[in-house]
């Protein structure tokens, strides 16, 4: 029965693509049909706000006609609705093309036929909701009993399962399972007038077994301890200081301060990386990559939403810009190979260039070596948020930080942030650790994407620290 | 594509509620949403895309022994899909844990009339009309200077309809329209690139000004060239609406939500009746504001939206509530339950967060500054400490004001502080209020703000 339905859908998509090309004059057409099932929980201090199960089902139709894009999204899968929608998409593309100066062209790709089946050890779709509640309630309990200063604990849980059927007019047809398990824990602590907060995210594409490693006990203690320890922390001094960044902060720096600038759509739009391909922008110790193939990582998948296989893309090698992240359109512009970075949050939106698992390559310094020469500086261990601008101005807010005194980790500081210009800061990297960690998170670029960021510990000769003391 | 009629949506909501009760729910609530959006996209100086997105669905909340289950679907055809959704909502409730604070779904109350929220002219906008709007904006920006590069933007028109029903007799329908255009520009001069400068205009009825958006986005990018570093010090700062929106969204707006207050996560807990801001600050959460971007007859629970006094001449007067947080305190909801269409359960959120304007012209405000900064865009406000109101952000860019004149852009200036210090140090408000998402506010002048330069 299930197979028949799938074959039925393949036939329908085939008819729609055919109509787009032969009837409505599209140069390229793609259809992306999805049926997703989600389970969500929100717990606040152990109160279960609502236990949610949802179904989202629909089709995204994207066409290129007269050099412009047309896109339609509908929540139905019948031939009649989809034919109407694809006609609409083609008509819209033609209207959008009216004032076009440079028509959009796409890189050529090999046609692929594949079926990607996820094989979780524990399929979230068959884990009973009661078990998911048990896990999150136990996480809540670990947090709330950690210390009496803990006031709040908000836990969100989400799992998504389902299948994407992708077909385009160049002969590609891919059925690909989707599987995500995610949880975010927000903890607040209070003592007197001092409020602190701490956050942690867990994410996996392998299965519910992620909670066997990131157990409620381990995660709960980590996030609660951070909020409580900050109560005794002092504000950092404002100004320029040497700093050691932990893998979690390095990850967000690579992602925010560098990664976005290397998304080829943003590079073309004029980010500071424009014209710097092949040029030296950082110290020899700097090697960055974006990898969609790490097994089970939150940003991994086999094919992107243009049907291009994911790969490991080298962005910076020993300080030299060596690659960008592409979709079909930017790959053509740069005369490069598509890298499999085109992702769409769901069938309601068009694929755009997104990161996957973005990280810095480790080197050979020990943890102690990174600190030993610093008389006074800061150790920034975990980030709260980060953001970058086209000119390379970045800001990373820090949720866990410490002073470094005479080569040793000293007192904690709270509400610190670092800022600077990406290119200037990459030249300040003067030692890179041999450790490595990846952290799961979500990235917003109009749409949400699941990603990982990471790297080793890194030392900066100096960085601007925002502090109120 | 055929647009379902009001009657159809209401019937669906009521039918789902009745069927859920029939299947054993103690209480039930349905929220039906439909959104149709047409957009034109600008990329790298040209219009390259057009899209139409039709999204509709039903979200169903059921309560069984004080345990809440929620289920949604965007498959609305046929009884089977709706029945499955009801079954899933009930099975979710069965699996869930009772919430002892649950005091029932809201009751039916009369709605205040709202105005300026629906415009037939927007419903009639097609992609070719939006191409025209986007072209006007784009040309205005390009005409300003050759060095200006519009990197992205667009124009859009949308129509949203909502129907709410619950087992206490609520049965309501509302519809609204929105038209918007936006443009992000940078300026390139030799090897110099400015930060992104952005302008935006959204309205509920068809009176946007794409030419002004184009011109202003270009003017800001041009004036961001040749930035200089500044010294670290405490200074006067004018916050424009973009900067304010960023700062307030991640600090003050959370702090006035009853949910945060009750859970001891708001620095404003216990401060009703106390002075928390300077005398010139009066704030309403106004869910029925004429042509407000977040104005609707009712909120995500079918409760009437209303105008709630939050800060009166600097004194904290009230918090915002949904039905759950209000009943927990024996109060009435202030109509602040928001939901993400049919996809989520209600959550406390501000409607139109309205900071009343002052009397000074923006030029007068600038002329009062002897040595300070004017900030348009902030980076990193989302990394603020939501519980304490502390922030540490970068202004990209801020402009220097010397002896009452805006002189030049600055580079990499950080601003640190606490939102409650900022509120207390506001000395003047301009008369130039504008709408930006949920914020309606004028420019404000703040004294004694710590900025970190070199």
Per-residue pLDDT of B54-93, as tens digits, reads: 999 999 999 999 999 999 999 998 888 899 999 999 999 9
**Tokens for B119?**
């415009």
Residue A440, SS3? strand
Q: Looking at the structure, tell me whether residues B164 and B26 fall in a common domain.
A: yes
Q: Looking at the structure, tell me whether residues B22 and B118 fall in a common domain.
A: yes
Q: Residue B215 is part of a domain; what is its CATH number?
A: 3.30.2290.10
Alpha-helical segments (H) within A176-246:
210-213, 216-230
Report whether pLDDT(B3) > 70: no
Q: Looking at the structure, tell me whether residues A354 and A449 fall in a common domain.
A: yes
| Phi, psi for B17 (deg, rounded to 5) | -60, -45
Chain B residues inside the 8 Å CB shell of A397: 380, 382-384, 392
Q: Looking at the structure, tell me whether residues B282 and B367 fall in a common domain.
A: yes
Yes or no, beta carbons of B49 and A71 under 8 Å apart = yes
Interface check A100 vs B, CB under 8 A: yes
Residue corresponding to tokens 């059925």: A175
The pLDDT value recorded for residue B159 is 97
Residue A413, SS3? strand
Residue B249, SS3? helix
Q: Looking at the structure, tell me whether residues A398 and A432 fall in a common domain.
A: yes
Distance from C-alpha of A322 to C-alpha of A316, rounded to nearest angstrom = 5
Question: Is the dihedral angle over the CA atoms A309, A312, A315, A320 positive or is it negative?
Answer: negative
User: Which residue range(s) make up the domain with A66?
Assistant: 2-230
Question: Is the dihedral angle over the CA atoms A291, A295, A299, A305 positive or is it negative?
Answer: positive
Cβ count within 10 A of residue A5: 11
Query: Count of domains in chain B?
Result: 2
Q: Looking at the structure, tell me whether residues A224 and A244 fall in a common domain.
A: no
B13 in a structural domain: yes
Tell me what percent of the residues of chain A surpass a pLDDT of 70. Answer: 98
DSSP string across A71-133: EEEES---HHHHHHHHHHHHHHHHHHGGG-SS----------EEEE----SS-GGGS-HHHHH
Q: Which of A73, A152, A398 sits opposite B53 (nearest CB)?
A: A73
Yes or no, beta carbons of B414 and A466 under 8 Å apart = yes
Q: Looking at the structure, tell me whether residues A114 and A262 fall in a common domain.
A: no
Chain A residues inside the 8 Å CB shell of B135: 99
Report whether pLDDT(B368) > 50: yes
Q: In Å, how far is A412's CA from the nearest CA of chain B?
A: 16
Residues 6+ apart with CB under 8 A from A230: A189, A196, A198, A399, A400, A412, A414
Q: For residue B308, give Cα distances in angstroms to B19, B107, B335, B439.
A: 36, 19, 9, 15
B228 in a structural domain: no
Distance from C-alpha of A324 to C-alpha of A265, rounded to nearest angstrom = 9
Q: Looking at the structure, tell me whether residues B162 and B244 fall in a common domain.
A: no
- The DSSP bridge partners found for residue B7 are none
Q: Is B77 within 8 Å of A58 (Cβ atoms)?
A: no
CA Rg value for chain B? 24
Cβ count within 10 A of residue B330: 7
B59 in a structural domain: yes
The pLDDT value recorded for residue B257 is 97
Chain B residues inside the 8 Å CB shell of A395: 379-380, 383, 393-394, 414
Find out whether the peptide bond into B397 is cis, omega within 30 degrees of 0. Answer: yes
Per-residue pLDDT of B240-294, as tens digits, reads: 999 999 999 999 999 999 999 999 999 999 999 999 999 999 999 999 999 999 9
B51 in a structural domain: yes
Q: Looking at the structure, tell me whether residues B140 and B175 fall in a common domain.
A: yes
Distance from C-alpha of A453 to C-alpha of A357, rounded to nearest angstrom = 6
Report whether pLDDT(A217) > 60: yes
Helices vs strands, H then E, count in chain A: 10, 22
Average confidence score pLDDT of chain B:
95
- The residue among A230, A263, A288 that closes a domain is A230
Report whether pLDDT(A5) > 60: no
B257 in a structural domain: yes
Yes or no, beta carbons of A387 and B380 under 8 Å apart = yes
- The residue among B223, B241, B266 that closes a domain is B223
Alpha-helical segments (H) within A153-198:
none
Per-residue pLDDT of A243-268, as tens digits, reads: 999 999 999 999 999 999 999 999 99
Helix (H) or strand (E) holding A425: helix A422-426
Q: Looking at the structure, tell me whether residues A271 and A401 fall in a common domain.
A: yes
Nearest by Cα to A328 from A303, A348, A347: A303
**Tokens for B378?**
């902030």
B294 in a structural domain: yes
The pLDDT value recorded for residue A7 is 60
Q: Looking at the structure, tell me whether residues B133 and B249 fall in a common domain.
A: no
Q: Looking at the structure, tell me whether residues B250 and B331 fall in a common domain.
A: yes
pTM: 0.94
Yes or no, beta carbons of B72 and A73 under 8 Å apart = no
Chain B residues inside the 8 Å CB shell of A129: 91-92, 95-96
Nearest by Cα to B258 from B317, B307, B319, B305: B319
Distance from C-alpha of A332 to C-alpha of A324, rounded to nearest angstrom = 13
Alpha-helical segments (H) within A198-246:
210-213, 216-230
Per-residue pLDDT of A18-46, as tens digits, reads: 999 999 999 999 999 999 999 999 999 99
Q: Looking at the structure, tell me whether residues A107 and A25 fall in a common domain.
A: yes
The pLDDT value recorded for residue A1 is 35
Nearest by Cα to A58 from A80, A39, A37, A32: A32
- The DSSP bridge partners found for residue B180 are B156, B202
Q: Average of pLDDT values for A155-168?
A: 97
Q: Is B220 within 8 Å of B252 (Cβ atoms)?
A: no
Chain B residues inside the 8 Å CB shell of A464: 412, 414, 452
Give the confidence band of B122 by pLDDT, cuts at 50, 70, 90.
Answer: very high
B286 in a structural domain: yes
- The DSSP bridge partners found for residue A403 are A378
Q: Looking at the structure, tell me whether residues A172 and A308 fall in a common domain.
A: no
B1 in a structural domain: no
Residue corresponding to tokens 């004018």: B238
Q: Looking at the structure, tell me whether residues B87 and B200 fall in a common domain.
A: yes
Q: Which of A76, A188, A385 sits opposite B265 (nearest CB)?
A: A188
- The residue among A230, A256, A277 that closes a domain is A230
Interface check A462 vs B, CB under 8 A: no
Query: Count of domains in chain A?
Result: 2
Q: Is B80 within 8 Å of B87 (Cβ atoms)?
A: no
Q: Average of pLDDT values for B338-343?
A: 94
**Tokens for B86?**
């009801």
Residues 6+ apart with CB under 8 A from A326: A107, A264, A334, A336, A337, A338, A339, A341, A353
Cα nearest neighbour of A272 on chain B: B193
Q: In Å, how far is B359's CA from the nearest CA of chain A?
A: 33
Q: Which of B92, B151, B411 sits opposite A51 (nearest CB)?
A: B92
- The residue among A230, A256, A285 that closes a domain is A230
Report whether pLDDT(B316) > 90: yes
- The DSSP bridge partners found for residue A450 are A442
User: Which residue range(s) make up the domain with B203?
Assistant: 6-223
Report whether pLDDT(B1) > 60: no
Yes or no, beta carbons of A70 and B380 under 8 Å apart = no
Q: Looking at the structure, tell me whether residues A168 and A57 fall in a common domain.
A: yes
- The residue among B223, B246, B273 that closes a domain is B223
The pLDDT value recorded for residue A305 is 98
Report whether pLDDT(B4) > 70: no
Chain A residues inside the 8 Å CB shell of B210: none
Per-residue pLDDT of B212-245, as tens digits, reads: 999 999 999 999 999 999 988 899 999 999 999 9
DSSP A361: P
Q: Looking at the structure, tell me whether residues B207 and B243 fall in a common domain.
A: no
Distance from C-alpha of A358 to C-alpha of A293, rounded to nearest angstrom = 11
| Phi, psi for B397 (deg, rounded to 5) | -95, 175
Q: Looking at the structure, tell me whether residues A207 and A316 fall in a common domain.
A: no
DSSP A172: -
- The residue among B171, B192, B223 that closes a domain is B223
Q: Looking at the structure, tell me whether residues A271 and A184 fall in a common domain.
A: no
Yes or no, beta carbons of B388 and A195 under 8 Å apart = yes
Q: Looking at the structure, tell me whether residues A106 and A151 fall in a common domain.
A: yes
Interface check A231 vs B, CB under 8 A: no
The pLDDT value recorded for residue A2 is 40
Report whether pLDDT(B2) > 80: no
Q: Which of B151, B383, B388 sits opposite A269 (nearest CB)?
A: B151
Q: Looking at the structure, tell me whether residues A88 and A178 fall in a common domain.
A: yes
Report whether pLDDT(A4) > 80: no
The pLDDT value recorded for residue B392 is 87
Q: Looking at the structure, tell me whether residues B195 and B163 fall in a common domain.
A: yes
Strands B398-402 and B405-409: antiparallel
Per-residue pLDDT of B126-168, as tens digits, reads: 999 999 999 999 999 999 999 999 999 999 999 999 999 999 9
Q: Average of pLDDT values for A11-18?
A: 97
Report whether pLDDT(A102) > 80: yes
The pLDDT value recorded for residue B426 is 98
Higher pLDDT residue, A466 or A412?
A412
Tell me what percent of the residues of chain A surpass a pLDDT of 90. Answer: 88
Cβ count within 10 A of residue A239: 15
The pLDDT value recorded for residue A458 is 98
Report whether pLDDT(B380) > 90: no
Residue A240, SS3? strand
Cβ count within 10 A of residue A368: 9
Q: Looking at the structure, tell me whether residues B305 and B370 fall in a common domain.
A: yes
Q: Looking at the structure, tell me whether residues B114 and B207 fall in a common domain.
A: yes
Q: Residue A210 is part of a domain; what is its CATH number?
A: 3.30.2290.10
């Amino acid at each position: 029965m299930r197979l028949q339905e799938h074959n039925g859908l393949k036939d329908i998509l085939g008819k729609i693509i055919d109509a787009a090309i032969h009837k409505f004059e599209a140069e390229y057409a793609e259809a992306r049909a999805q049926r997703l099932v989600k389970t969500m929980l929100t717990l606040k201090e152990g109160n279960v706000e609502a236990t949610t199960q949802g179904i989202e089902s629909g089709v995204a139709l994207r066409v290129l006609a007269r050099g412009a894009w047309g896109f339609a999204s509908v929540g139905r899968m019948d031939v009649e609705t989809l034919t109407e929608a694809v006609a609409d998409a083609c008509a819209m593309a033609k209207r959008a093309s009216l004032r076009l100066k440079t028509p959009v062209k796409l890189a050529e790709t090999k046609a692929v036929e594949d079926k990607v089946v996820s094989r979780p050890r524990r399929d979230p779709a068959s884990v009973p909701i009661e078990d998911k509640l048990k896990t999150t309630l136990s996480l809540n309990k670990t947090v709330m009993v950690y210390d009496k200063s803990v006031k709040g604990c908000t836990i969100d849980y989400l799992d998504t399962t389902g299948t994407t059927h992708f077909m385009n007019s160049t002969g590609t047809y891919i059925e690909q399972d989707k599987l995500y398990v995610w949880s975010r824990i927000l903890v607040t602590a209070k003592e007197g007038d001092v409020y602190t907060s701490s956050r942690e995210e867990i994410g996996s594409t392998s299965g519910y077994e992620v909670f066997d490693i990131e157990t409620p006990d381990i995660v709960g203690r980590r996030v609660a301890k951070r909020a409580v320890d900050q109560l005794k922390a002092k504000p950092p001094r404002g100004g320029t200081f040497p700093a050691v960044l932990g893998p979690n902060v390095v990850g967000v720096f690579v992602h925010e301060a560098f990664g976005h600038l290397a998304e080829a759509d943003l590079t073309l739009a004029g980010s500071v990386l424009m014209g710097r391909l092949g040029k030296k922008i950082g110290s020899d110790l700097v090697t960055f990559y974006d990898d969609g193939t790490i097994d089970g990582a939150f940003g991994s998948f086999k094919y992107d939403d243009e049907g291009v296989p994911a790969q490991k893309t080298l962005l910076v090698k020993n300080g030299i810009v060596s690659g960008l992240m592409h979709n079909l359109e930017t790959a053509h512009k740069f005369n490069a190979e598509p890298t499999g970075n085109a992702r769409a949050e769901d069938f309601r939106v068009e694929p755009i260039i997104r990161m996957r698992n973005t990280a810095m390559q480790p080197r050979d310094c020990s943890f102690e070596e990174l600190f030993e020469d610093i008389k006074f500086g800061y150790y920034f261990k975990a980030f709260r948020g980060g953001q970058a601008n086209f000119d390379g101005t970045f800001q990373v807010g820090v949720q866990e930080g410490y002073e470094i005194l005479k080569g040793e980790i000293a007192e904690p500081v709270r509400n610190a942030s670092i800022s600077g210009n990406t290119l200037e800061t990459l030249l300040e990297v003067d030692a890179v650790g041999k450790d490595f960690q990846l952290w799961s998170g979500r990235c917003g670029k109009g749409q949400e994407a699941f990603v990982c960021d990471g790297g080793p510990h890194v030392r900066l000769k100096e960085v601007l620290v925002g502090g109120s003391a | 594509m055929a647009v379902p009629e009001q009657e159809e949506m209401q019937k669906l909501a009521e039918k789902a509620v009745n069927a859920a009760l029939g299947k054993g729910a103690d209480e039930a609530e349905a929220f039906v949403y439909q959104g149709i959006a047409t957009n034109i996209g600008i990329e790298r100086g040209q219009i390259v895309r057009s899209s139409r997105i039709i999204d509709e669905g039903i979200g169903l909340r059921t309560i069984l022994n004080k345990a809440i289950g929620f289920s949604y679907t965007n498959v609305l055809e046929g009884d089977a899909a709706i029945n499955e959704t009801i079954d899933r909502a009930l099975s979710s409730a069965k699996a869930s844990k009772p919430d002892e604070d649950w005091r029932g779904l809201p009751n039916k109350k009369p709605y205040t009339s709202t105005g300026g929220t629906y415009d037939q002219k927007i419903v009639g906008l097609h992609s070719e009309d939006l191409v025209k709007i986007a072209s006007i904006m784009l040309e205005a920006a390009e005409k300003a200077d050759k060095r200006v590069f519009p990197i992205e933007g667009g124009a859009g028109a949308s129509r949203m309809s909502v129907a709410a029903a619950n087992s206490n007799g609520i049965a309501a329908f509302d519809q609204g329209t929105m038209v918007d255009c936006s443009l992000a520009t940078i300026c390139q001069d030799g090897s110099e690139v400015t930060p992104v400068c952005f302008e935006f205009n959204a309205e509920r009825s068809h009176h946007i000004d794409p030419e002004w958006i184009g011109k202003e986005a270009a003017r800001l990018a041009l004036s961001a060239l040749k930035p200089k570093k500044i010294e670290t010090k405490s200074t006067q700062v004018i916050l424009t609406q973009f900067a304010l929106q960023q700062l307030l969204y991640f600090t003050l707006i959370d702090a006035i939500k009853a949910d945060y207050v009750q859970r001891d996560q708001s620095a404003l807990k216990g401060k009703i009746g106390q002075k928390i801001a300077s005398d010139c600050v009066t704030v309403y959460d106004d869910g029925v504001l004429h042509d407000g971007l977040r104005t609707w007859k009712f909120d995500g629970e079918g409760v009437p939206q209303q105008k709630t006094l939050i800060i009166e001449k600097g004194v904290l007067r009230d918090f915002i509530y949904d039905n759950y947080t209000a009943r927990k305190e024996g109060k009435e909801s202030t109509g602040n339950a928001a939901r993400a269409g049919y996809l989520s359960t209600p959550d406390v959120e501000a409607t139109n967060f309205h900071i009343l304007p002052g009397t000074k012209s923006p030029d007068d405000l600038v002329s009062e500054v002897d040595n300070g900064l004017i900030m348009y865009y902030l980076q990193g406000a989302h990394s603020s400490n939501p519980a304490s109101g502390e922030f540490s952000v970068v202004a990209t860019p801020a402009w220097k004001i010397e002896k009452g004149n805006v002189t030049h852009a600055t580079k990499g200036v950080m601003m640190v502080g606490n939102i409650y210090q900022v509120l207390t140090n506001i000395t003047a408000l301009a008369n130039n209020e504008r709408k930006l998402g949920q914020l309606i506010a004028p420019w404000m002048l703040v004294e004694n703000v710590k900025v970190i330069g070199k």
